[in-house]
Amino acid sequence: MLQRCIVGVKMATDFQRRVWEALRRIPRGRVTTYGEIARYLGTGAVRAVGTAVGKNPDAPAVPCHRVVRGDGTIGQYSGGEGVPTKIALLHAEGVRVAKGRVVAFEERLWHYPSQSTTSPSGS
DNA sequence: CCAATGACTAATC
DNA sequence: CGATTAGCCATTG
């Protein structure tokens, strides 16, 4: 049973799994940027993040459509009708998009939780 | 291992 | 604001 997991199966890299997991952390009605994900992963591989998101096999089960570019523009999307579908999904979650750009982008922008400064066992 | 690619970003024209 | 160049890192052939 487990044998088939180690042969003849396209396996994603750990990097991609971390990216997809980061996508699941995005709350509904919010958006994030590739740069934020890269920072969350602790790397500057914005390009690699975008590629990993595009290879997301569980789309749109994973909110990959909540990821936009750093300047608030929609960016790209692979699936359905492409970018139009990405915008449609965002609208379905309450995120307004105009001229291929997220309305009130910085207000809708989601930031990943940072380590609590009130941590009792802080270093 | 090397070369090419990509759902990006920033700077310049 | 649109087009171009260069830098970036992981994936893929």
Structural domain contains residue A1? no
Question: Whose C1' is closest to the CA of A53: which nucleotide?
Answer: B7
Please report the DSSP string for A11-51 in residue order: ---HHHHHHHHHHHTSPTT-BEEHHHHHHHHTS--HHHHHH
Q: What is the DSSP letter of A90?
A: H
pLDDT in tens, A90-104: 999 999 999 999 999
Structural domain contains residue A6? no
Range of the domain at A95: 13-108
Active site residue A64: yes
Could you tell me the distance in Å between the CA of residue A71 and the C1' of nucleotide C5?
Answer: 19
Structural domain contains residue A19? yes
Structural domain contains residue A97? yes
Whether residue A12 has pLDDT greater than 90 = no
Q: How many domains does chain A have?
A: 1
Structural domain contains residue A122? no
Residue A80: give its domain's CATH number: 1.10.10.10
Q: What confidence score (pLDDT) does residue A3 get?
A: 46
Enter the pTM of the model: 0.83
